[in-house]
Structure 1
Amino acid sequence: MVTTLNTFRYDSEVERDHIGQKIRLIRQKRRLSQRQLALYAGVSPSYIAYIERGDRSPSLTTLKRIAHCLGVTPDIFFQEKVDAKPEGENKLAELFGHLKPEEIRFIEKVVEAYLQLRRR
């Protein structure tokens, strides 16, 4: 994989298809439509469809946003196998899958503030 700023090149079409299939699998596990994921990730629904079919390669920035919206880290898209349940998945992760990115950031700030108070 060649990395340059926010873009990267896939080694083959197979890898691009593989990433798209993983995005689709995780999106469906989270019970998100392509439209919902697109809205949360700030791209068009047709772009999500292109990525999932392997017709387009997302930029690294877009891949990170998609991963964040799906509640996973971007490296999961490059792994050979996606577990039925990603590591650390729990009820909160499932709920986060239905939130907008700004709602997730708000909840993260609340939890961080709570943890700071608890440490005192």
Structure 2
Amino acid sequence: MRAGVLARLRMVGGINGVWEGAGVSAAAPFVVLGDVAASDWGTKDAVGRELRVAVTVRDRGDSPARVETLAGEVEAAVAALPRELDGWRVASVVLLRSSVVASGKGAWAAMVDHRVRVLAG
């Protein structure tokens, strides 16, 4: 699933890279794929997972305008995940949260979190 999300995020234009985890020292704007937490979402006859996918867009500038635009593109990229991914069938993708915060002088962060429900198949 991470590979599928990473592939979609790398299609977002106007960023200087997509990274996994924290500690990135890339030039802004860039995207970080954070935790992908999984819990059971199976049925009697099918293995399933509910995934929480956390993505952060980091930028620098006088206003949050660019990071807001990029956050919208990240949201659309995750929502457009292929319905078949490496042995899993995507049942639904739902935006849980999208927020923009100042993270220092001239620094902005947009958090975009999705719930992705998948069934083995």
With structure 1 as the length reference, what TM-score do the two structures score?
A: 0.26
Larger fraction in helix: 1
Larger fraction in strand: 2
With structure 2 as the length reference, what TM-score do the two structures score?
A: 0.26
